[in-house]
Amino acid sequence: MTTVDISSPAVAGPVVALTDVTKRYRRGAIAAVSDVDLTVGARRIVALVGESGSGKSTLGRMVVGLLDPTSGDVRVDAEPVVPVKRRRRARPRRAQMVFQDVYGSLNPSQDIGRQIEEAFLSSHPGSSRAAARARAAALLARVGLDPDLYAARRPDDLSGGQRQRVGIARALAGDPSVVIADEPISMLDVSIRRDVLDLLVGLRDDEGVSVLYITHDLLSAGYVADDIVVLFRGMVVEQGPAREVLARPRHPYSRLLAGSSPGLGQEERARVFLEAPRPRTPWNGEGCPFAPRCPFAQELCRTALPPLTVTGRAGDAATAAARCHRLEELDALVATREEEADR
Amino acid sequence: MTATLVTVRRSGARRRRIPVIAIVGLAVLAAACLAALLAPWLAPYPPDVPAGAGSQPPSLEHPLGTTTQGFDVLSQLLYGARTSLGVGLAVAGITTVMGLAIGVIAAYRGGWTDSVLSLLTNVFLVLPGLPLIVVLAAFLPPGPSTIILVLSITGWAFGARLFRSQALSLRTREFVAAAETAGMGRLRVMGTQIVPNMASIIAAFVVNQVVFAITAEASLEFLGLGDPTTISWGTMLFWAQTGSALLLGNWWEFVFPGLAIALTASMLTFVNYAVDETSSPRLQARELVHRFLGTGTRSSSLITPVRRTDASS
Amino acid sequence: MPRPDVSPATPAASAEVLRIDALEVGYVVADGVAPAVRGVDLTVRSGELVALAGESGCGKSTIAQSVLRILRPPGVITGGRILLEGEDVLAMSPARLRRVRWARAAIVMQNSLTALDPVHRVGDQIDEVVRAHRRDHGGGRHRTTGELLEMVGIDARRGRDYPHELSGGMRQRAAIAMALALSPSLIVMDEPTTALDVVVQREILAMVTALQHELGFGVLLISHDLPLLTRYADRIAVMKDGLVVEETTPAELAVTGGVDSYTRRLVASVPRPGTWEAA
């Protein structure tokens, strides 16, 4: 009988460590991800927030090994990630994934109990079918689905929310150190989203599993995450403890994102950015990626990429930082612009 | 194969009905296979020993008549079914398995494996089928085994290409990535994630192959490229030809084997049609609406029909 | 600086653009008709943005598609009236319906990639719509494709692009431009921003409301995103199991949090800053 070990993690140090990771396509012409450093500590939930095209899904897929980085280092539990293409049975995969597409991420022609069993057997080679079945039943119960009622059902018979619970159960079957949740609730009905999010939080609290929560929705990120990392055009533009990033976003894009999220109360503070016109021409690759849309962009911003400047205390799991040349003066600039507008 | 044709009862009101023609087709086919298996007990006479006077039209003694050489046609038909159906099923089985293996592996592995296997497939696809069949059959020792071999060699490539393209589209689905992320072995992924989701296309292919094989086998034997001493529907036609049955007016010598082939092919096609029907929800939806509105209504699927269910219609 | 996305509604003499009366719609199944919409009343006035909110299966998309009778088989309309500027869509002949479609009422679907033809340039597709109208109605001045694109915030030169060359947000804007081509009095939008990011969602809805104030068309917006609707809708009708359980305004909703229990559940299901303590 397998028991879930919730004692201190076997590995000291971060569960996920991405160092200087870059992903390029089309012979280097397009950079989906550029020089990203990212860590997820033990028993932490980190939210990776960004719009589509920001590279967040790309990063998530690199952590589980579905994509190879063009350059840089990707480690889980201090071990380099083995790409899925070259997977080996003897090496259990410690990073598992919950997918966005609830309708496509379960095998339509297999019972869901069986699918969880298969996931268990894949990561515990040599286990008996009986052990797999027991574990699958336990996992189904864990995610709130009565195994007697659900194990024999096909995905077709389940609602979106139920399917996603199965997805979480399947991810847990591999005894992961970290679960990458790639937009897990975007395709679900509003009234069940919170339940699924609560399940993810439970992974950290009850199973001691870390979660990398990938989303475009700042609100849900604030609901589950300990730390937030904001991604724009493949680069980290801001990171920090969730509460801080939401209460006082520093980077212009973070402010824009917060201002666009209804219910955060950030609209006034972000007004200048919300009303800035959308650029007609795409970014040429030089300097700050946000410069074309930034009402405060200067010549320096257009020529030199700003470095990630630490703004918070060192020692936190995600040291607060932001990538902007004019970070210090931004509040003052915004205030001045507001005054001008009101006149 | 049964999975796609059996009535599926799920929670809620979703139930798929098997079209009548599918039931008819399956029933007739099942009867034919049964008759073939039980030939030694069902046949009134041995098929290879003259059982009566030659060129007898159908009578009580010989329900389907006798050939010019005096063989009982009914007995020959029953024993011949064993060869014809046997060859048909064998070829269908071999080409399906070969096509599946090569197509799915090529699609899943990709890279060099795919390039090599696709090249192989394309070479065999490009080879002219009929001339190759004829040439091979002419040079190899005659008999049903040769025919099975020849038809399999020339028939697998079509399936390989078909299954490869289907497997390619399945390969990119998220549930396959999910299984791989969980660490599932390659063979297991192909066997549990990809192939089971190709069920209806495999079923349709098998059915098509049986039709193809039966008619091809009959054609080969009719051309004299089979072993004339074996008994099959095709050799029956061959002997009818050489014995000038047409000139003599012995219609029963070629009509019955011909009918047997045509009937088998038709029944298989019915089954195939049913497989298509049950796997196309859009066709079903249109059908449902037409039935609901009643005959005689010209309805375009571009305009939602209005049919009031209250009294003031 | 003027803020076009925050202005009070001007009720005055606003005409009724859409009136749905006791609408009943169902789906034909093997043994009868499964009801999807079970008697819904709804009105949209010119210049108004009325939202139909609810979760999957409640019938809101069914209503959206029924307005122009583009609901696919096995959908069947079984009762009620849909009055488009006073004329019952359900009583129209096919010919009349085809003329009314796009000219009087247009629709913007969720997945613009399927709404736009992938093998034709975006500008050409809009031209096509305008030309077809001219054939049917003759005369009258219509906006050019370039003007339409600029109106929705797309550089007119991008009319030469194919749909896949535009981002999701731009494609949706193009779809809106196409809907505006014949100056309809009603535009139905079926989850137009659901697949898009928060920032883009906001921009597009702000643009739509701005255009509404300028051109005066009414909008029936289908969505499940309650926070977004409270920001942009004039009225919100909450649907569940084929019925409207509550009709309210954003202002009322902010005060009451919903009268019907289902509405309250929807409102409560949005994670809010105050509830972060749970994380």
pLDDT tens-digit series, residues C19-75:
999 999 999 887 888 999 999 999 999 999 999 999 888 999 999 999 999 998 888
User: Minimal CA–CA distance to B209: which of B114, B100, B126, B108?
Assistant: B100
Binding-site residues on chain B for chain A (CB distance < 8 A): 10-11, 173-175, 177-185, 188, 192-193, 196-197, 199
Distance from CA of C201 to the nearest CA of A (A): 8
Residue A99 has its nearest CB partner, among B174, B196, B197, at: B174
3-state secondary structure of B44: coil
> Up-side HSE of residue B273: CA atoms within 13 Å toward CB?
14
Chains that touch A (3 or more CB pairs under 8 A): B, C
C226 is a domain residue:
yes
Question: How close does chain C come to A128, measured CA to CA in Å?
Answer: 38
B110 assigned to some structural domain = yes
Kindly state whether residue C277 falls inside one of the protein's structural domains.
no
Interface mutation target, options C61, C72, C99, C102, chain B, most CBs of B under 10 Å: C72
In this structure, the answer to whether residues C9 and C78 fall within a common structural domain is: yes
* C71: closest CA of chain B, how far (Å): 5
Q: Examine the domain organization and report whether C35 and C50 are in the same domain.
A: yes
pLDDT of residue A288: 93
pLDDT at B183: 92
Residues C197 and C262 in one domain: yes
Distance CA A95, CA A83 (A): 11
What is the bridge-based pairing of β-strands A30-40 and A16-25? antiparallel
In this structure, what DSSP letter does residue A154 have? Answer: -
Give the H or E element holding residue C244.
strand C243-248
Residue A226, φ and ψ in degrees, nearest 5? -85, -40
Q: What is the CA radius of gyration of chain B?
A: 24
Residues C89 and C129 in one domain: no
pLDDT at A1 over 60: no
C73 close contact with B: CB closer than 8 A: yes
The last residue of a domain, from among C183, C218, C245: C183
Q: Do B307 and C76 touch (CB under 8 A)?
A: yes
Is there a domain that residue C279 lies in? no
| Mean pLDDT calculated for residue range B168-181 | 94
Q: Is residue B295 part of a domain?
A: no
Report yes or no: A230 at the C interface, CB cutoff 8 Å: no
Q: How many domains does chain C have?
A: 2
C231 and C100: one domain? yes
Please answer whether residues B252 and B57 qualify as being in contact, where contact means their C-beta atoms are separated by less than 8 angstroms.
Answer: yes
- For position C35, what pLDDT does the model report? 92
Query: Does residue B101 lie in a domain region?
Result: yes
Q: Is residue C127 part of a domain?
A: yes
Spatial CA neighbour of B214 closest among B38, B32, B86, B98: B86
- Partner residue facing C269 (CB), from A194, A260, A280: A194
Cβ-defined contacts of B92-96 (< 8 Å, 24+): B92/B206, B92/B207, B92/B209, B92/B210, B92/B213, B93/B206, B94/B148, B94/B152, B94/B156, B95/B151, B95/B152, B95/B155, B95/B156, B95/B158, B95/B159, B95/B209, B96/B159, B96/B202, B96/B205, B96/B206, B96/B209
C139 and C156 share one domain: yes
For residues A241, A246, A251, A255, the Cα torsion angle rounded to the nearest 10 degrees is 170
CB < 8 Å to A198, chain C: 278
Tell me what pLDDT residue C272 has: 66
Mean pLDDT for the stretch of residues B15-25: 72
Does B21 reside within a domain?
Answer: no
Q: What is the pLDDT of residues B89-145, one digit of tens each?
A: 999 999 999 999 999 999 999 999 999 999 999 999 998 877 888 888 788 888 888
- pLDDT tens for residues A123-145? 998 899 999 999 999 999 999 99
pLDDT tens digits for range C203-254: 899 999 999 999 999 999 998 888 888 889 999 999 999 999 999 999 998 8
Q: Are residues C123 and C26 in the same domain?
A: no
The distance of Cα B15 from the centroid of its chain, to the nearest Å, equals 27
Print the domain residue range for B151.
Answer: 31-261
The answer to the question of residue B168 being in a domain is: yes
Structurally, chain B folds into a number of domains equal to 1
C-alpha to C-alpha distance for A99 and A61, rounded to whole angstroms? 10
C87 plus C1 within the same structural domain = yes
pLDDT given at position B182? 93
C275 within domain boundaries: no
Q: Are residues C93 and C5 in the same domain?
A: yes
Nearest to C108 by CA among C174, C50, C48, C158: C174
Evaluate whether residue B187 is within a structural domain.
yes
Is the same domain home to C161 and C201? no
Pick the more confident residue, C45 or C169: C45
Last residue of a domain, one of C126, C152, C183: C183
Domain assignment present for C203: yes
Residue pLDDT, tens place only, C171-181? 889 999 999 98
Tell me the residues of C at the A interface, defined by beta carbons under 8 Å apart.
1, 3, 55-56, 153, 155, 167-168, 196-203, 224-228, 230-231, 265-266, 269-273, 275-276, 278-279
Interface test with C, best of B288, B304, B310 (most C CBs within 10 A): B304
A186–chain B Cβ distance below 8 A for any pair: no
Q: Which of C160, C183, C206 is the last residue of a domain?
A: C183
- Find residue A280's DSSP bridge partners: none
Q: Give yes or no for a contact between A292 and C234, defined as CB atoms under 8 angstroms apart.
A: no
CB contact under 8 A, B288 and C28: yes
pLDDT of residue A233: 92
In a domain, C278, yes or no: no
* Same domain as C118, residue C148: yes
CA distance C74 to chain B (A): 5
Three-state SS across B270-310? Answer: HHHHHHHHHCCHHHHHHHHHHHHHCCCCCCCCCCCCECCCC
Q: Which residue of C has its CA nearest to B299?
A: C94
Residue B305 placed within a domain:
no
Residues C100, C20, single domain; the answer is yes
Q: Which residues of B touch C90 (CB under 8 A)?
A: 306
**Residue at B20 is within a domain:** no
Residue C48 lies inside a defined structural domain of this protein: yes
**Domain containing residue B67: CATH number:** 1.10.3720.10
Determine the structural domain holding residue C68 and report its residue range. Answer: 1-104+187-269
Is the Cβ pair C29, B285 closer than 8 Å? no
Asked whether the beta carbons of residue A220 and residue C271 sit closer than 8 angstroms, the reply is yes
Q: Kindly report whether the global pTM for this prediction surpasses the value 0.80.
A: yes
